[in-house]
Structure 1
Amino acid sequence: MQQSEKEPPAFSERSQVIESPVPTFSRVDELLEDMTLAEKVGQLLVVGMEGKTYGDELDRLIRQHHVGGIILLGKNVSYPAGILKLLNESKKANADYEIPLFISVDEEGGRVSRLPSSMKKLPAAEYFGRTGDEALAYETGAYLAELLHAFGYNMNYAPVLDVHSNPKNPVIGDRSLSSDSHAVADLGMAMMKGMTDNGVISVVKHFPGHGDTHVDSHLSLPVIEKTLDELYKTELIPFQRAIDEQADVIMVAHIMFPELDNRYPSSLSQKIITGLLRDEMQFGGVVITDDMTMGAIVNDYTVPEAAVQSFLAGSDLLLIAGDYENQVGTINALMTAVQAGKISEDRIDESVKRILKLKERYKLKDAPIEEIELDLIERKFNELLG
């Protein structure tokens, strides 16, 4: 980072409960002013890794490229102490840098859980939908925050706000809270607030709605032939509610909506990300893509070209779970696009500022966790679900 005569703004230590949603903007502005273009571009990526241990490729992404965050997937999960060691080493690599990492994970419960096999897992979202209990949903969010803090995570890709409107859906199904849009909104907001009130960033997903697909976007590109009016009557209800209730981050899905954009899938579409989500629905928070290495994207694009298009469309964070060549290739493609005038540095600053504000708001810090209190976590689980 370039040296400045000003005292560098420090990200203060995280408190358990967020006292105020308003970040100190001057600190973010000063920090942004001192960043190089390469540092700014690095902040736009959340990266995955291979294997269950900290390695050279992840080390280079953190130390040299200053990526914005990391994600752990099922392939990275080992035993509790192994996960803790991997996350602690990632934080240690970033400890001398002023901007802390997003340490992120998909911990929904049910079949989407990144916990070791020895630990008790939450039931799938549909369980909470059947109870209809908003207080239970809130307490579940609070439990998730405590669970994830125990490992050192600070961001969770949950809750799912997709409405389960297609029983043939192969990828959502019991991950949805309900087939009723308003129930999804009510329970989803309770769960989201349970997490955010306890210091974990909640990423609601998968905008504009993955509930009515019959194709798994991990494999190929789903197509939904709905008009915008039809989406507003079902799929968009929970997302509009999330925006109205100050959601921090929204994940955009890889789905083709020909009635909205007949050229690009939602994750690459300026009409959907900027036109619909930002301008029409008035979302001012951070937009993150679903994993750019999924079949819905790589069957038709290279990861770097898709990432550049997604950023042009209005995304802030580009989630690239693997591999290292795609991650570095995306960084290089973004740098080249700025140097060629395809992306303005003002546009880069716009996204980086949103990212820095979010990190400051949650007072993130790359502090290692000495030990996981597994007995305490199990006791909290039993108190929650009996």
Structure 2
Amino acid sequence: MKKNIRWSSLLLSVMLLAVLLLAGCKNSDQAGRDEQDRSGEEKQLTLDEQVDALVAAMSTTEKVGQLLMFGVQGAEITDDAKYVLHQFHYGGVILFDRNLQSADQTKKLVDDLQKNADEKLPLFVAIDEEGGKVVRGSSFITPPPSQEDIGRKGEPALARAQAVEIAAKLKDIGVNVNFAPVADVGSGNGRSYSDDPQETGKFVKAALEGYKEGNVICALKHFPGIGRGKVDSHTEISDIEASEKELRSVDLLPFRDVIDSIDKGRNFDYMVMVGHLKYPAFDANHPASMSPKIITGLLREELGYQGLVITDDLEMGAIANHQDFRQAGAAAIMAGADIVLVCHEYEHAEQAYMGIYDAVKAGTISEARLDESVRRVIKAKLLHGLQPQK
């Protein structure tokens, strides 16, 4: 009898151990599933949630840097370039012929710039490859025909095909932003598709679709249209002496057509570059690039564009002859721009950066206003495959 009791006790112990092990396995399996569920939730963050998380992780110095695009010197990365990238956290660079000797050399330069940026997101790498007289790297990038030459053929599909071809060549060397197409009406020098605003709009829309296909961000320029300009803004500022009715029915029309025809969810397919001329019919006191009435009032609120707004180069005479870079940088952001472009001198880019930074610290530019632009920059980068750096 005692022997049977011992066997019964042993059997009961074995059964109890099996139950505990089974429960432990289930708990372990459940914990694993819970962990997978949590991981899955993290991976399923919406785009806006990803943007918010990245903005929250940035310091003020990093945020301000995302609002600057600067020009680098030389065909290979220098210690000066490494220093400013690290010190000011710039969000983008623009390349000129001084940077472009060959395809392989350019690829290495861009790769080195990306590696040394040491930011949470990769750099915008931009270029001006319009076609005609405005081209870069012509020793190894076949210059495209001018927009005027394409427009004369009367077939917008040609503008799209050209944009696809340009995008492929730029992507191959690491460029992800092209400051084209020109949306100005009748600006001369081969830069406009047409003197007719409706025809211009058709070709601009076609080009935009080509860049979209090639996954290169393009830029409609120069808002609200510089076709009437009599003085080159590289040299000096001037007024566009036209009535509001004339500006709306001609100069503004291609921009309006594109913004109206492209779904608002695709605003980040392209940037809008704002020029430095003055338009007294819209704002008698400020150049377009520093005008709240033109950028915030006209472009954003009236036309409904909520994508990235970038200024033309602040080193142009239209701006540089009249105010310092600290003032200009802060004024552009306060007007509603998201990115300030400084193409040549490191010192000038630094001054523009400090102008924005000091304005944020003083409260002249609120943290909310700063975050608004940083969100747009980050969103555009994520949408175009510029994923967070590991």
TM, length-normalised to structure 2: 0.84
* 1:134 Cα deviation from its structure 2 partner: 1.8
Residue aligning to 2:95: 72
Residue aligning to 2:178: 156
Aligned residue runs from structure 1 range 52-63, under 5 A: 52-63=75-86
Farther-moved stretch of structure 1 (346-355 vs 70-79): 70-79
Is 1:98 the equivalent of 2:120?
A: yes
Counterpart code for 1:151: I
Aligned residue runs from structure 1 range 1-386, under 5 A: 24-94=47-117, 96-164=118-186, 172-244=188-260, 245=262, 246-247=266-267, 248-365=270-387
TM, length-normalised to structure 1: 0.85
The question of whether the paired residues in 1 share the 8 Å contact of 2:329 and 2:353 is answered with: no
Give distance in 2, aligned partners of 1:10 and 1:292: 41
Runs of 4+ displaced beyond 3 Å: none
Counterpart code for 1:42: G
Give distance in 1, aligned partners of 2:89 and 2:138: 28
The question of whether the paired residues in 2 share the 8 Å contact of 1:101 and 1:366 is answered with: no
* 1:331 Cα deviation from its structure 2 partner: 1.6
Give distance in 1, aligned partners of 2:387 and 2:360: 30
Counterpart code for 2:237: L
* 1:332 Cα deviation from its structure 2 partner: 1.6
Counterpart code for 1:157: F
* 1:229 Cα deviation from its structure 2 partner: 1.6
* 1:302 Cα deviation from its structure 2 partner: 0.9
The question of whether the paired residues in 2 share the 8 Å contact of 1:110 and 1:175 is answered with: yes
The question of whether the paired residues in 1 share the 8 Å contact of 2:325 and 2:355 is answered with: no
Give distance in 2, aligned partners of 1:129 and 1:206: 18
Deviations for 1:159-208, whole angstroms, at most 9, x for unmatched residues? 000000xxxx5xx4311111111111101110111011221001110000
Give distance in 2, aligned partners of 1:86 and 1:364: 18
The question of whether the paired residues in 2 share the 8 Å contact of 1:80 and 1:116 is answered with: no
The question of whether the paired residues in 2 share the 8 Å contact of 1:51 and 1:75 is answered with: yes
Give distance in 1, aligned partners of 2:288 and 2:282: 9
Farther-moved stretch of structure 1 (176-185 vs 332-341): 332-341
Give distance in 1, aligned partners of 2:147 and 2:135: 12
Give distance in 2, aligned partners of 1:366 and 1:220: 40
Give distance in 2, aligned partners of 1:266 and 1:55: 35
Give distance in 1, aligned partners of 2:388 and 2:315: 27
* 1:85 Cα deviation from its structure 2 partner: 2.1
SS of residue in 2 equivalent to 1:264 = strand
Give distance in 2, aligned partners of 1:219 and 1:199: 34
The question of whether the paired residues in 1 share the 8 Å contact of 2:219 and 2:272 is answered with: yes
Give distance in 2, aligned partners of 1:363 and 1:26: 16
Give distance in 2, aligned partners of 1:10 and 1:83: 37
- Structure with greater helix share of residues: 2
**Which consecutive unaligned segments of at least 5 residues does structure 1 have?**
1-5, 12-22, 368-386
Deviations for 1:195-223, whole angstroms, at most 9, x for unmatched residues? 11221001110000011111111011122
Give distance in 2, aligned partners of 1:10 and 1:200: 28
Query: Quick check: which has more Rg, 1 or 2?
Result: 2
Deviations for 1:104-152, whole angstroms, at most 9, x for unmatched residues? 1001111111123244211111011011112221111111110101111
Q: How many residues align?
A: 344
SS of residue in 2 equivalent to 1:175 = coil
* 1:365 Cα deviation from its structure 2 partner: 5.0
SS of residue in 2 equivalent to 1:187 = helix
Give distance in 2, aligned partners of 1:223 and 1:308: 22
Counterpart code for 2:53: E
* 1:253 Cα deviation from its structure 2 partner: 0.3
* 1:366 Cα deviation from its structure 2 partner: 9.0
Residue aligning to 2:23: none
SS of residue in 1 equivalent to 2:126 = strand
The question of whether the paired residues in 2 share the 8 Å contact of 1:141 and 1:191 is answered with: yes
* 1:341 Cα deviation from its structure 2 partner: 1.4
Farther-moved stretch of structure 1 (209-218 vs 50-59): 50-59
Deviations for 1:204-257, whole angstroms, at most 9, x for unmatched residues? 100000111111110111220112221111011110122121443100000011
RMSD: 2.2
The question of whether the paired residues in 2 share the 8 Å contact of 1:79 and 1:116 is answered with: no
Give distance in 1, aligned partners of 2:320 and 2:157: 41
Give distance in 1, aligned partners of 2:181 and 2:388: 24
